[in-house]
Amino acid sequence: HQIKTDPDEILPIEKKFDIRFVLVPVLFVAGFLIIFCISNHVMWKRKYRRMKNHEKFLYITKENLKLLCHLGFPLKTGETLSEYRERLLKSESYDFSENSEFSSLYEEFVYADRKISEKDIKTAEKSHTALTELVGKTDMRYRILLVFMK
């Protein structure tokens, strides 16, 4: 057998960029992340519903403290909950009058061994919703953070 080496018979190989080689993996990863976030959110909702009242209250209070930290109001070392609430109420940046109610309930729960009622949980959840909206309005990076916090 003879190999033809005539330049007219050899077809040049064209290297074309095919968008599918990039688009398919990117869409796969994006789809996986969306499914992961949704399933994680559903799992936490289910777990939250099964918690006892005091567990729910502690969980939502910790989330509220994280949100306040993202707004620039971390709980300082050695600061009591009363001092923290006063600092929040004196804030000129935001109006925390309704959003800080959970801190007085938390203080009573920690120091007075108070039983947590459904009303207390609703108060903490209301504060959480308001603080989440407030963080969402402040900065894009915190909006992204909210997706992964839930």
- Note the pLDDT tens digit of each residue in 68-115: 888 888 989 999 888 988 888 888 777 787 777 888 888 888 888 788
Round to whole Å and give the CA distance between 75 and 86: 12
Residue 19 burial (10 A CB sphere; 0-12, 13-18, 19+): exposed
CA torsion 39-61-74-129 (nearest 10°) is 60
From residue 91, how far is each of 63, 83, 136, 147 by CA, in Å? 20, 12, 19, 27
Find tokens 């936490």 and name the residue: 44
Which pLDDT score, from 0 to 100, does residue 14 have? 62
Taking only the tens place, the pLDDT of each residue in 13-59 is 566 777 878 889 999 999 999 999 899 889 988 998 899 988 999 99
H runs (alpha helix) in 1-150: 20-50, 53-70, 81-89, 101-111, 118-138, 140-149
| pTM for the predicted model, two decimal places | 0.68
| C-alpha distance across the termini of the chain, in Å | 69
Contacts of 130 (CB under 8 A, 6+ apart): 98, 99
Which pLDDT score, from 0 to 100, does residue 22 have? 85
